[in-house]
Amino acid sequence: MRSRFNRVFFFAVLVSVVVGCSVDAVLGVSEEEASTVLAAAEVNVVVCYSAVAEADEVGANVTALLTRLGEAGELLSLGELAFSEGDYDSALTYAGQSQEMLSGFVDEAHDLEELAFNEHYWSFTTDVLIFVVGTSVIVVGSIIVWLLLKKRTLGSVSK
C-alpha cells in the first residue's frame, strides 16, 4: 500500500511540476522578451517622431499625429515603468499597445507631407500666375493709356 501511495504521490508531484512549469511558460513573459519588445517599441516611437518632424518641416498639419505619438509614448513609459518593477507581462502589454497605436503612422506622416508639398506647389503656381497676369494687365493698360494720351495730345496740337 505504501509503495502504491509513493508512486501516486510521486506522479502527482511530477504532474504538478510539469503543469506549473508549463503554465509559467505559457502565461509568464520573460525579462528578455519584455526587454526586446520594449526596445522595438522605443525604436518605433523614434522613427515615428522623425517622420512627424519631416512632415512638419514642409508645413503639414501634424497636430493629430503628435497627439497620437504622445499617447504611444505614454504607453511606452508605462511599459518601461512596469519593466523596472519586474512586471514583465504588463511591460509587454503596454509596449504592444504602443506599437499598435503607431501602426501605419509613418505612412500617414508621409501622406501629410506629400499633401502639404502639393498644396505649397499649387499655392506657389497660383501666386506666380496672378503675378504674371497682374503685371501683364498693368503693362498693357499703361500702353493703352499712353497711346490714348498720345493720340489726344497729337490731335490737339495739329488743330
> Confidence band (pLDDT; 50, 70, 90) for 158?
low
* Per-residue pLDDT at 90: 94
CA-closest candidate to residue 76, choices 110, 115, 106, 38:
38
Average pLDDT, the chain: 80
> Confidence band (pLDDT; 50, 70, 90) for 45?
very high
Quote the cell numbers at residue 118.
502639393
CA-closest candidate to residue 62, choices 49, 43, 74:
49
71 vs 133: CA distance, rounded Å: 49
Average pLDDT for 22-26: 44
* Per-residue pLDDT at 102: 93
> Confidence band (pLDDT; 50, 70, 90) for 25?
very low
Quote the cell numbers at residue 86.
519586474
Give yes or no for residue 33 having a pLDDT over 90. yes
How confident is the model over 99-132, as pLDDT tens digits? 999 999 999 999 988 887 777 656 667 777 788 8
Domain ranges of the chain: 2-120
106: left (phi over 0), alpha (psi -120 to 50) or beta: alpha
Average pLDDT for 61-73: 94
